[in-house]
Amino acid sequence: MIEIVDTIDKFKTLESEWNSLFFQAKDVTFFQTFKYNWIAWETFSTPVDRLFIIAYRTDKKELQAIFPFYLNKKGHLKFINDKHTDFCNAIISKDVEATYNLMYDVWKFIGDEKSVKFLFLDNVVANSPVLSYWKVFFSNAFVFSQTEHSWINCFKSDNIFTDFQYLRAKERKRLVVLDKKSSHCSLKIFHIMNESYPEDVVNRLAQEMMAMGLRSSSYLNDTMRVFMRRLYESGLVELSILYDGDEPISMGFVFINEQRTYSMRWVILYKSTQFNLWNYARYIVEKSRIGESIIDFGRGGYDYKMSNFRPQIENLYRFMASKTKWGNWYVLFKIAASHMRKTLKKYKG
């Protein structure tokens, strides 16, 4: 059976079950936690947005899956806070055997729901059943990748860059030299358990980045900064701050799982791109001294990530399907626009 969670009270009531499902689900990250979605909805939702979380239950009312959706004013079905969410996905219990039936039932429900005009699902992870099943069920669906994420596997080591055997010798040497360049700096990890939120540092670096044109004021607006602070205070993120003496020169908001074996760099703030790179390198060094973990560089195949760390890469996808004739033209427009942006960026200058 399908239940629609469409009010804030219903959303809050689902917390306990959501948390239980999350810990027995497969292929989920911090972005699928109740805490993240709750904070995101409270922070970014507008009066014209409508909660449309789909809860899928057995006949005995056992929760088997959650699709954390909402409807915007155009009737577009989207993942909550997809704009700032690197990995979007449904939350499905690993005990579900009839995945086909579950995905079909939800697809059929969405197809019959008149308030849903269009599906616009962004930053969907590659192994999500949303992609594989709904691409078949929605005969007019378009699935394409417009971005990606990357990561490296770190093992316990006191000399991680020297020991990175997947790199060529000259590539390892470059990282060793990079780390030595920041040897006069100190890296401090802030967590809500040991430090209050350093709002003055965040604001100072944000203002400097905007002044240099490295970040837009629309991105680092007051609402976004509230979101960043709330994520820190909830314990979902820690801060990696690099100091030159007493002066903070770069910082990263880092999502981290409860086992502290998987971390993902999210929002980064810095005085220069070089200081940002130093922060990456020092964070990898510190994590590897503690133990084995995966460090994810988040969305975007930016050159500084690729050329320095040679990470593993996986695509993220956009899923679009329309329930109207004119909506299909919109799909084609969005695909063409995305391709044109990439083409112009490639040949810029």
CATH of the domain at 222: 3.40.630
Positive or negative, the Cα torsion across 176, 252, 341, 315? positive
Sheet with 293-299, strands from edge to edge, namely: 50-51, 69-71, 76-79, 118-125, 312-322, 142-154, 293-299, 262-270, 247-256, 237-244, 186-190
Contact by Cβ (8 Å): 177, 319: no
Q: Determine the pLDDT at residue 205.
A: 96
Alpha-carbon gap, residue 292 to 260, rounded angstroms: 9
CA-based end-to-end distance of the chain: 55
- Domain membership of residue 303 (yes or no) is no
> At residue 103, what are phi and psi to the nearest 5 degrees?
-65, -35
Q: Digits of tens for pLDDT over the chain (349 positions)? A: 999 999 999 999 999 999 999 999 989 999 999 999 999 999 999 999 999 999 999 999 999 999 999 999 999 999 999 999 999 999 999 999 899 999 999 999 999 999 999 999 999 999 999 999 999 999 889 999 989 999 999 999 999 999 998 999 999 999 999 999 999 999 999 999 999 999 999 999 999 999 988 888 888 899 999 999 999 999 999 999 999 999 999 999 999 998 899 999 999 999 999 999 999 999 999 999 999 999 999 999 999 999 999 999 999 999 999 987 666 667 677 767 776 776 676 666 5
Residues 7 and 142 in one domain: yes
Q: Are 94 and 28 in contact (CB under 8 A)?
A: no
Beta bridge partners of 313: 150
Residue 279 is part of which domain span? 156-291
Structural domain count of the chain: 2
- Which residues have CB under 8 Å from 104's CB, separation 6+? 133, 137
Structure tokens at 88: 């979007």
- C-alpha 59/C-alpha 301 separation (Å) is 44
Same domain as 58, residue 126: yes
Residue 28 and residue 102 share a domain: yes
Phi and psi of 152, rounded to 5°? -130, 150
Residues 131 and 82 in one domain: yes
- Determine, yes or no, domain membership for 57: yes
Residues 142, 160 within the same domain: no
CB half-sphere exposure, 329, CA atoms < 13 A:
2
Q: How far is CA 216 from CA 209, 213, 249, 252, 257, in A?
A: 8, 7, 19, 17, 29
Identity at 117, one-letter amino acid code:
K
Q: Indicate if 109 and 201 belong to the same structural domain.
A: no
Contact 102, 64 (CB under 8 A): yes
pTM comes to 0.93
Q: Is residue 310 part of a domain?
A: no
Question: What is the pLDDT, as a whole number, of residue 345?
Answer: 66
Q: Are 19 and 143 contained in the same domain?
A: yes
90 in any annotated domain = yes
**DSSP secondary structure code for residue 84 in this structure:** G
Side-chain-side CA neighbours of 85 within 13 Å: the count stands at 30
Does 328 lie in the same domain as 196?
A: no
Residues sharing a CB contact under 8 Å with residue 230, sequence separation 6 or more, in sequence order? 39, 43
* Residue 178 structure tokens: 């990079």
> 235 with 331, same domain?
no
Residue 252, pLDDT score: 97
User: With contact defined as beta carbons under 8 Å apart, do 266 and 235 qualify?
Assistant: no
CA 4 to chain centre: 24
Closest by CA to 220, choosing from 36, 84, 30, 345, is 84
User: Domain check: are 126 and 164 in the same one?
Assistant: no
Residues 124 and 59 in one domain: yes
Q: Where residue 88 sits, what CATH number does that domain have? A: 3.40.630.30
What pLDDT shows up at residue 236?
97
Q: Strand 91-92's sheet: what is its strand order? A: 2-5, 53-57, 63-67, 91-92
| pLDDT given at position 329 | 67
Residue 309 covered by a domain: no
* Whether residues 25 and 113 fall in one domain: yes
